[in-house]
Amino acid sequence: MTRQTDMPETPITDHPKLPNSVPLIADFHDDRNRLSYYQPRLEQIKSVRTPLTLFLPVEGSKNTYLHCDYRKITQFMQDISALKAFIRGDYSSAKYSKEGRVVTSQDRTQIEKTVLEMFRQLSLGKRNIGGKIAIREYVPHDVEVRYFIEDGKILYRGSLDEPDDFPDEMAVGVATEFDSLSWSVDFIKHEQTGKWYCIDMGLNGLYHDGDRWVAISEHIDKEQSPENHAEKMVEPKRYQYRR
């Protein structure tokens, strides 16, 4: 139930003197960090399960009233027989509270309240909405695992939840499909069915937030994070970019 759009890819640095363990440099808002970029590709992998997803365009601008067609969200929830849904922007979900992430009613007024709170939290975190939002099948879970892949190979996996099993087969499928660059890949385990879902991806490297070099994807194992080499990085203006 996804709608795929063609998007230009922004440059990633091609610098011969990157410190070890810094796989790439990119902007946090690189097009490849969009859910609408990698979700359609994930859906094509037979071994990978993803939440049902609907993308909706956002109307208006920061100087006007941001909104979308909330009736379509209600219809989506009814189509999949859901009383809950997960909501996020194209680049990121709201990070400050679940009130901006979880829709708990099919009622249009309540849906709008959640969407507006998501807009507020994304703005507070200086994250772009991306011109669209995603309404997703809500997957209750108590276990989450993050894999790091690079050039089609799994580097390592980590979790704070100490799971009994891991979605290794799914991770291999993702690594095979995304066989260039370096990525983080997130999976959650449905707490009732025990089935794994791939829910999120992001470029694994560094970006400059205006003040310092920051890891695009958070590493549970801090020793593996490219932020450990941030002090070796030169100022962004000295980098040459390529398309």
Q: Is residue 33 located within the same domain as residue 145?
A: yes
Sign of the dihedral defined by the CA atoms of residues 37, 155, 44, 164, in that order: negative
Domain boundary among 106, 137, 168: 137
- Residue count (the chain): 243
96 belongs to a structural domain:
yes
Q: Is residue 201 located within the same domain as residue 219?
A: yes
Dihedral angle over CA of 181, 138, 5, 25, nearest 10: -20
Q: Is residue 86 located within the same domain as residue 187?
A: no
| Residues with Cβ within 8 Å of residue 223, at least 6 apart in sequence | none
208 belongs to a structural domain:
yes
Q: Is residue 234 located within the same domain as residue 193?
A: yes
Q: 144 forms bridges with which residues in the sheet? A: 188
Q: Give φ, ψ of 12 to 5 degrees.
A: -120, 145
Is 21 or 3 the better-scoring residue by pLDDT? 21
6 belongs to a structural domain:
no
Residue 92 belongs to domain spanning: 53-137
pLDDT digits (tens, 9 = 90+) for 26-57: 999 999 999 999 999 999 999 999 999 999 99
Single-letter amino acid, residue 238: R
The number of distinct structural domains making up the chain is 2
Query: What is the pLDDT averaged over residues 150-164?
Result: 95
User: Exposure of 213 by Cβ count < 10 A (0-12 exposed, 13-18 middle, 19+ buried)?
Assistant: buried
pLDDT digits (tens, 9 = 90+) for 101-131: 999 999 999 999 999 999 999 999 999 999 9
pLDDT digits (tens, 9 = 90+) for 206-227: 999 889 999 999 999 999 999 9
First-residue to last-residue Cα distance in the chain: 31
- pLDDT, residue 64, reads 75
pTM for this entry = 0.90
